[in-house]
A and B are shown apart, each in its own frame.
Chain A
Amino acid sequence: MFALTEVWRDLYRNKGKSFLVFLFGILVIFCIAFYMGNIQNNEAILRNLSQTIPVTVQVVGTNGNRQAGLEIDQKHIEALLSGGISDSLYTMLAGGNIDEKNQKQPIQYCDTSMIGINDSSLLSPLIREQISYAQGWDESLFSGDQPACVISTDYASRHRISLGGTIEFPLYVWEYEEDDMHFRFVEVGKASLVVAGTYVSSEVAAGNASDVAVPARWLQSFLQDAGLDYTYASFQGTVADPLQLNEWKAGMKKAGFQEVDPDSFKEREGNALEVNDRLFIETADRIQENIRIFRWFQAPFLSLIVLLIVFVLFLVLRSSRREIAIALSLGRPGFLCALRCFLENALLMLLGCVVTLPVLLAATSLGLGDILVMEGIFLVCAFLSIIIALAFLFSMNVLELLTKID
C-alpha cells in the first residue's frame, strides 16, 4: 500500500518528469503504429487487390484466335464454375426456323439465331439501353430460367410478333464438321417463348446480334431435357482468389485446359484459357516485397525501439539516483526501490496506450485487434526497457552520491 502511495505521490509531484515520460511513450507508440500499420495496410491492400485489379479469365480457342462462337464442353464449364471463378458470364448459341418452309429436313440453315446469356451485360450496351420490357419483366430475366426472350422490333414486325406475345419454333443446335467445313443441325424440340422485351437496333441489320436472346439456364435445361450434350459459345469470369493463382492454374490444367498454342489450326475448340494476370502479379509482387522488407526489419526496428526507451528511461531514472540512494541508506530494500521506479514508468507507458487507443482507432484504418496487438508489443518493449535501464542504474554505486570518499 505504501509502495502504491509512493508511486502516485512521485508521479504527481514530479509532474514535469511524468509528463515527459508519458509524451515519450506516446511518441514511441505512434512510431510502432506507423511501422506496424504499414505492414497491416500492405497486407490489406494485397488481400483486396483482386477487387482493384481483378484477374479475368477468358476461354479461347486452341490457337487463341477466337473468344466467341466456341465449342466449350460442359466438363470444362463445370471445372471453371466449381474451380474458383466468380462473376462468370457465358453464352450458348442455338438456332430455330420460325418460317415453316425452312423447317423441312434436311435443315440447311436457321432463320432465327438464338443466344442464351446468363446476364444482361452480355448484350451490347446499345441494345441493353433500348429494351422495352413487358409488364412484370426486367433484365433480371436473363439470370433466371424462365422461357422468355428479348427480340428486335425488326424481327417482331417481320414475323408479326408483339410484346408480351409468344413465339414458337423448332430449336436446333449445330455441330461444326471441321473435315467438311459445314454445320450439321440437330433438332432439339419445339421452343415456346414469351416475348418479354423488344429493342430497336441497327446491329441486327448488320448481323452482329442474335435475333432472340434467352436466359442461358433455360436453354441449358431445354437441351438437358432433350438428352443432348451441349456446348457453350463463350465464357469469361474473374478468378475469385488470385492470391492462389498458381494453385488455380494447376487445377485448371488438371481439368483439361491448356495454354494457347498459336501454331494450332484449331480455333473453335474452347479448351484454352487466357488469363489476364500480368498487372495483378506485378502489383502483388511489389506489395509482397514491401511486406517482406518491413517484416524482415521488424525485429531490428523493435530492438532499436527498446534501445531508445532504455536510453531515455535511463536518463530519466538517473535523475532520481539521489532519491534512490537516500531510500537505500534508510534501509529500504533495493528490490522495492527498483519496483517503485518500474511501476511509475510502467504506469505512464500504460497511460500512453490508453490515450492513443481512441486516436489510432479514429485516425487510422487499423482495427481494434490490430491496435491492441501493437500496444501489447509496445508495452512488452517498454517493460523490458525499464528493467534494463534499472539494471544499469543499480549496477552503479548509487550510495556513493551520499558519501563523499575522502
Chain B
Amino acid sequence: MEMLSAKNVDYIYQSKYQKVQALKDVSCSFEAGTFYAIIGHSGSGKTTLLSVLAGLGTPVRGSVYVGETPLDEIGQERHRRENVSLIYQGFHLFPTLTVLENVMYPMQIVKRSQKEAAARARELLASVGLKKEQEKKFPAMLSGGEQQRVAIARALSSSAKVILADEPTGNLDTENGKVVIGLLKQLVAEKNYCVIVVTHDLDIAAQADVVYRMTDGKLDREERAV
C-alpha cells in the first residue's frame, strides 16, 4: 500500500546570497512495511527531499501525496501531526522536558489525557529499551544512543505510520547506531511501518529493502535483490 509519494517535485532553496535548485523533477513512492534508504553525497538534496516529504518545505512544482490525497489538501501541520514522524541526527528533544514528557508531547498536542499519554509513553520507552528510572531525567543527562531511542519512542507516540529519519545514527557510535537501526527495522517487520532513512552510511543502505540514490537533486531508484 502506497503511503507517501512525491510526483515531479522541484524545490528551490533561496538563501540571502544564492538560489539553489535542490530537487529536480523528483518522483518516488513509499509503501507500508518497507525500509527505505536514500543515499547520496553531501549537497545532493537528500535532506531537502525528506523535508518536503515531511511538509517542512513547499515544492515550487509537483506535489507530495499521502495515499491518493495531495498534501496541499491535508495541510502541512496536520500532516506532521498525523501522517509522519521525524527523527533527526541531532535528536532534537525538548531540553527542559523530561524523557517521559518528551514522549508524551505528540499525544498531548492531539488532546489525549495526561494519564493516557503517560501510560502510553511508559510503554513506548520500555519498547525501545529504556529503564523506568530514566523517565524523569532530562535529555542532557542521557547518552547519545539513549537520546535517539527517546526520539524513536516520541516518533512512535503519534498515530503516524511513516517515519522519516535524517541521519539517525550520525551522532552515535557503531554499537548504538546498530541498536537504533535495529529498532527501526523491527518497526517495519512487526508493525508494518514505512521507514525512510537518509544516510551516508552504506552499511545502513545495505540493510534497506529499497535504496534511492540522490545525485545533484535527481533521484534514482536502485534495483537490488530481495
Contact = CB atoms under 8 A, between A and B. Distances in A.
Contact of B78 (A9, A322, A331, A399): A331
A117 to B, nearest CB: 82
B51 A403 contact: yes
Given A330-B105, A331-B80, A322 B13 contact: no
Given A322-B92, A334-B77, A329 B54 contact: yes
Interface residues of B, number: 37
Contact of B82 (A323, A331, A403): A331
A259 interface: no
A9 B97 CA distance: 9
Given A13-B96, A402-B88, A406-B42, A330 B51 contact: no
A331 B79 contact: yes
Given A14-B96, A330-B106, A402 B77 contact: no
A330 B110 CA distance: 11
A306 to B, nearest CB: 28
A322 B90 CA distance: 11
Contacts of B50: 403
A330 B81 contact: yes
B116 to A, nearest CB: 13
Given A326-B92, A399-B57, 19 more contacts: A2-B108, A13-B96, A323-B95, A329-B56, A330-B105, A330-B154, A331-B77, A331-B79, A331-B81, A331-B106, A332-B77, A334-B77, A399-B56, A402-B90, A403-B47, A403-B56, A405-B13, A405-B48, A406-B47
A329 B96 contact: no
Contacts of B111: 2
Interface string A302-329: 0000000000000000000011011111
A404 interface: yes
Interface of A: 2, 9-10, 13-14, 322-323, 325-334, 399, 402-406
A248 to B, nearest CB: 68
A228 to B, nearest CB: 95
Interface string B63-99: 0000000000000011111100010101011111100
Contacts of A333: 77
Nearest to A330: B106
Contact of A402 (B13, B22, B56): B56
